[in-house]
Amino acid sequence: MKISELSQRAGIALSTLKYYQREGLVSGGARRNATQVDYDETHVQRLRLIRALLEVGGLSMAAAKEVLRTLDDVATPLAETFEVAQAALAGRRPSGGGSDLLAEARARVQHLAQSRGWCVSEENPGLDVAAGALEGMLAINHDPSPEYLDAYADAAQAAARADLQALSLLSRQDQIAELMVVGTVLGDPLFAGLRRLAQQDATQEIFSITTTREEPQP
Amino acid sequence: MKISELSQRAGIALSTLKYYQREGLVSGGARRNATQVDYDETHVQRLRLIRALLEVGGLSMAAAKEVLRTLDDVATPLAETFEVAQAALAGRRPSGGGSDLLAEARARVQHLAQSRGWCVSEENPGLDVAAGALEGMLAINHDPSPEYLDAYADAAQAAARADLQALSLLSRQDQIAELMVVGTVLGDPLFAGLRRLAQQDATQEIFSITTTREEPQP
């Protein structure tokens, strides 16, 4: 197919597609003659993957490149592919610096993981991501209850099992690697969106829609 | 306290603090004399909240302003405060355009919510966020199983209940509003980080760390 059809099939503007080519994210098509290049289904798939990472998953161009490079290298062990996807995602969040509060938050997240018998390394970027969130709560003097943290850990564990279950249904190694990356990137917004929906439902149960806030008591 | 002490207590650089003041996020202190302004604990708290929204939660300046304006207006009903926080977060994700795949993804998310009896409005931004993620999966020809989507919906529901449970323990309306906003923003990275940790644990169970990917079969 021509580049114009490729652009349409992948749902990506022609100018954006050319930008991705200049950045080296997509390989060129087969040259048919001096003026025409042929693209096929593999190009459509590749562009859809790029779109999922950049536009839906919100990765930076640098992080997407790193992830794609790992995917393209079939010699990379699967566990390492996972790590690269996780690190790319972690890069989206600015680190909170080295405050005392962050150290406390980190220790509590580690304790939470240990109490569940999770086997995790010190380098797992999830540690900093979760600790950063917990630090933000502690910073406004909101100390989450053990029940709250357990509920989130339960939710995370159930989602992670579903992720791995989906992977175990695939047999082709390149498909497993691709789903690892895309599932890691897109599982977050999937959960985030569903949580908003569930929150609205739960809010209606607990707070009346028309309740007006009163003046705060000193 | 002086502005230098305020900067230190809140863990925010002086230049950043002054930027927040120029942007109108923090009110000025009490003027003690022509050259000195006094700040108190309310300023420390306010800056920590701003830091949680901007640096940890990753909101844009415009979104953070909107959220803070809603928090400052005590006449805003609680349910509306929630909606503003959700909309601010949704703004972080670029919308996927109006593709057929997105329409299909949206319909499936709506069906998922309905099947659980969730009472949600058409305008809930979570619908687009979750649909965008699902579209990204469909775009790479990965059609998640009903079990996978149910696992994520279960996880989201459990987290949303924990969110609301934490809110119900508070009595001061201004604290409830603040936790609604911060919990909405920080619950996502808390879950995301914990999911990375749980994934690592589950990966070790299923895939050997040293497994090298084979060449893909055509």
C-alpha distance across the termini of chain B, in Å: 69
Mark out the alpha helices in chain A (DSSP H runs). Answer: 3-10, 14-22, 41-51, 61-72, 78-90, 100-115, 125-139, 146-168, 173-206
- Residue to test with chain B: of A147, A179, A195, A214, most B Cβ within 10 A: A195
CA A197, A108, B10, A140 torsion: positive or negative?
positive
A151-155, B13-17, B31-35: least confident range: B31-35
Mean pLDDT of A178-198: 86
Q: Is the complex ipTM more than 0.90?
A: no
CA distance B112 to chain A (A): 9
What length does chain A have?
218
State pLDDT tens for residues A111-164: 999 999 998 888 888 898 899 889 888 877 789 999 999 999 999 999 999 998
CB distance from A183 to chain B under 8 Å? Answer: yes
| A38 interfacial to chain B (CB closer than 8 Å) | no
Determine the average pLDDT of the residues in B145-158: 95
Confidence of residue A92 (pLDDT cuts 50, 70, 90): very low
Confidence category of residue B67, pLDDT binned at 50, 70, 90? confident
- pLDDT confidence band for A110 (50 / 70 / 90): very high
Which residue of B144, B183, B202 is in closest CB contact with A161? Answer: B202
Question: Where residue A95 falls among pLDDT bands split at 50, 70, 90?
Answer: very low
SS3 B89: helix
**Among A50-54, A65-69, A206-210, whose mean pLDDT is lowest?**
A206-210
Q: Which residue is it, tokens 């047999």?
A: A171
* Range of weakest confidence among A23-32, A203-212, B10-19, B70-79: A203-212
In the predicted model, is pLDDT for residue A90 greater than 80? Answer: no
- pLDDT mean over B19-29: 85
Residue A169 phi/psi, 5-degree rounding, is: -80, -15
With pLDDT > 70 as the criterion, what percentage of chain A qualifies?
A: 86
CA of A169 vs chain B CAs: smallest distance (Å): 10
Residue from A141, A63, A123, A128 nearest A97 by CA: A128
Beta pairing, strands B37-38 & A37-38: unpaired
Q: Considering only A169-183, B31-45, B149-163, which range has the smallest mean pLDDT?
A: A169-183
At residue B209 the predicted structure's pLDDT band, cuts being 50, 70 and 90, is: very low
pLDDT band, residue B158 (cuts 50/70/90): very high
Show residues of chain A in contact with B148, CB under 8 Å.
Answer: 162, 165-166
Task: Identify which has the larger pLDDT, A77 or B107.
Answer: B107
Q: Which of A151, A172, A10 has its CA nearest to residue B156?
A: A151
Q: What type of residue is B159?
A: A
Locate tokens 């930008």: which residue? Answer: A19
Across the interface, of A56, A76, A99, the residue whose CB is closest to B136 is A56
Q: Does A141 touch chain B (CB under 8 A)?
A: yes
Judging contacts by C-beta atoms under 8 Å, the chain A residues touching residue B109 are 193-194, 197
> What confidence tens digit (pLDDT) does each residue in B96-115 have?
445 678 889 999 999 999 99
A81, A129, A189 member nearest B132 (Cβ): A189
Q: Check: CB of residue A102 under 8 Å from CB of residue A63.
A: no
The pLDDT score that the predictor gives to residue A89 is 67
Task: List, in sequence order, every residue forming a beta bridge with B30; answer none if it has no partner.
Answer: B38
Q: Computed from CA positions of residues A172, A177, A181, A183, in that sequence, does the dihedral angle turn out positive or negative? A: positive
> What is the C-alpha separation between B42 and B174, in angstroms, rounded?
13
